[in-house]
Amino acid sequence: MARRRIVAGNWKMNMTPSEAVALCAQLKDLVVNDEVDVVYCVPAIDIVPVVEAVKGTNVKVGAENMYFEEKGAYTGEISAAMLKDAGVEYVIIGHSERRDYFKEDDALLNKKVKKALEAGLTPILCCGESLEQREMGITLDWIRMQIKCDLQGVTAEQVASMVIAYEPIWAIGTGKTATSDQAEEVCGAIRACIAEIYDEATAEAVRIQYGGSVNGGNAKELFGKPDIDGGLVGGASLKADFGKIVNPE
């Protein structure tokens, strides 16, 4: 069965609630596509107004982070159940900015992945190597380790429903996209790793995105690769260009 393409915007720490609503209106007609899942992953404070703003459209809403505990004394955190209740369907877990600036490690991310799935959210699990790791020739080893750690105790059926985003750190926000061959090599290796841990059917089902300076000009070639099922898009998700990524010409 062919995998359905998924293009998700990662707004990061951009857009006030009123700006968010305006952006939804600006993009509304540009992102219409029945064959692609379109997701806006937005700052927590924008979730409620964005869920409202995209009602009746093809756009789904995602969060950029969550905490793994059920509830309680975790000042500043947001639970999976809160996201679900607010109308969120996806949640980015383990973005390199969270791993780096907020020191999120694979043991923590594994708990978040499991909690998200338990709550009925679809995790978009991020992985990716630094430039230094790529130059050392350990890219595939590094990614395989991240995937294996982050998916500990996750069932085959759950993995089949997930999204994995390969985002080379050196390509994020730098304008330096991985070539489509470089991106395909790693996305293919992620799929092979899933086949090894689980089975072929799970590997065939899981959707794998590429992220890192995706734009309207390079999306078509990247998404044309057999193991790349769409993109996780930062900078270009905040402007009309996002429409060209959902609907490459």
Q: Which residue among 97, 104, 129, 167 is the active-site one? A: 167
Q: What residues from 2 to 21 belong to the interface with ligand PGA (CB under 6 A)?
A: 10
Alpha carbons 174 and 159: distance in angstroms, whole number:
30
Among 23, 121, 147, 233, binds ligand PGA (CB under 6 A): 233
> Taking CB under 6 A as the rule, does residue 214 contact ligand PGA?
yes
**Binding test (CB under 6 A) with ligand PGA, winner from 232, 238, 245, 246:** 232
Q: Is position 235 an interface residue for ligand PGA (rule: CB under 6 A)?
A: yes
| Amino acid in position 96 | S
Q: With contact defined as beta carbons under 8 Å apart, do 193 and 145 qualify?
A: no
Quote the CA–CA distance of 17 and 79 in Å, as a whole number.
Answer: 20
Count of residues near ligand PGA by CB under 6 A:
13
List the structure tokens of 4: 């359905």
218 lies in the site for ligand PGA, by CB under 6 A: no
Q: What share of the chain is helix, strand, coil (3-state, %, to 5)?
A: 45, 15, 35
Considering the complex, what minimum distance in angstroms separates the CB of residue 97 from ligand PGA?
A: 7
The rounded distance, in Å, linking the Cα atoms of 180 and 78 is 36
Residues in 146-175 that interact with ligand PGA by CB under 6 A: 167, 172-173
Residue 167 catalytic? yes
77 is catalytic: no
Do residues 168 and 190 touch, judged by C-beta distance below 8 A? no
Residue number, 10 or 158, with CB nearest to ligand PGA: 10
Please tell me which residue in 95, 104, 129, 184 is annotated as part of the active site. 95
Residue 132: exposure state from Cβ atoms within 10 A (0-12, 13-18, ≥19): exposed
Nearer to ligand PGA, 212 or 230 (CB): 212
Under DSSP, the state recorded for 79 is B
Residues that bind ligand PGA (CB under 6 A): 10, 167, 172-173, 211-214, 232-236
List, by residue number, the catalytic residues.
95, 167
